[in-house]
């Protein structure tokens, strides 16, 4: 805005140097201040100086949140992938895959707003261990089932 006033002032001085100079000159000085409210506040409000440590702390906090979020999403995806192998029904007739997914969703929702990094880490480690243990048990049962079926074939 100040640039356009300068152009107008230059144009007015060149066209009518005696008459317009005083009026435009006063307008120019009135508008010599900030153009927006943000600029006004920036000039007159005392701000806390950011130190390198504050920037570094903020960066580390964002990095931790991003890393934690990635780990949580990775665990959730691992659970969804692992539940694909549980295709049989339980005693109530529900497919185990659906039961496991519902329980995982419920536990993730309960821990959704947890802020303590130690608790989050403990939950993540426990979740990874539980998924691994469930898959190991599933593999062991599958091996037993295959061995049983081969033994039955050999008897025939």
Q: What is the pLDDT of residue 155?
A: 84
Q: What is the pLDDT of residue 99?
A: 93
d(CA 21, CA 76): 72
Asked, for residue 19, whether it belongs to a domain, the answer is yes
pLDDT higher at 152 or 42: 152
pLDDT higher at 114 or 65: 114
Do residues 136 and 129 lie in contact, with contact meaning Cβ atoms separated by under 8 Å? no
Q: Does one domain contain both 77 and 148?
A: yes
- When divided into structural domains, the chain yields a total of 2
Beta bridge partners of 89: 95
pLDDT higher at 9 or 28: 9
Tens digits of residue pLDDT in 51-96: 556 777 777 777 766 678 889 999 999 999 999 998 889 899 999 9
Asked, for residue 54, whether it belongs to a domain, the answer is no
Domain that holds residue 89: 68-155
Q: Does one domain contain both 79 and 21?
A: no
Asked, for residue 56, whether it belongs to a domain, the answer is no
d(CA 114, CA 119): 8
Q: What is the pLDDT of residue 150?
A: 92
Residue 22 has pLDDT above 60, yes or no: no
116: helix, coil or strand?
A: coil
Residue 38 has pLDDT above 60, yes or no: yes
Q: Does one domain contain both 82 and 142?
A: yes
Asked, for residue 117, whether it belongs to a domain, the answer is yes
Residue 24 has pLDDT above 60, yes or no: no
- % of the chain exceeding 70 in pLDDT: 64
């Amino acid at each position: 805005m100040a640039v356009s006033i300068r152009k107008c002032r230059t144009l007015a001085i060149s066209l009518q140097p005696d008459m317009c100079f005083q009026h435009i000159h006063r307008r120019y000085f009135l508008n010599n201040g900030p153009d927006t409210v943000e600029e006004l506040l920036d000039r007159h409000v005392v701000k806390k100086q950011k130190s390198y440590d504050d920037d570094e702390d903020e960066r580390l906090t964002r990095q931790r949140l991003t890393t934690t979020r990635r780990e949580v999403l990775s665990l959730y995806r691992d659970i969804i992938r692992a539940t694909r192998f549980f295709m049989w029904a339980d005693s109530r007739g529900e497919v185990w895959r659906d039961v496991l997914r519902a329980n995982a969703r419920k536990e993730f929702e309960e821990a959704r707003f947890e802020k303590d990094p130690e608790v989050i880490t403990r939950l993540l480690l426990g979740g990874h261990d539980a998924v691994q243990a469930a898959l190991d048990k599933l593999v062991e049962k599958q091996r037993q089932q295959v061995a049983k079926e081969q033994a039955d074939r050999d008897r025939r």
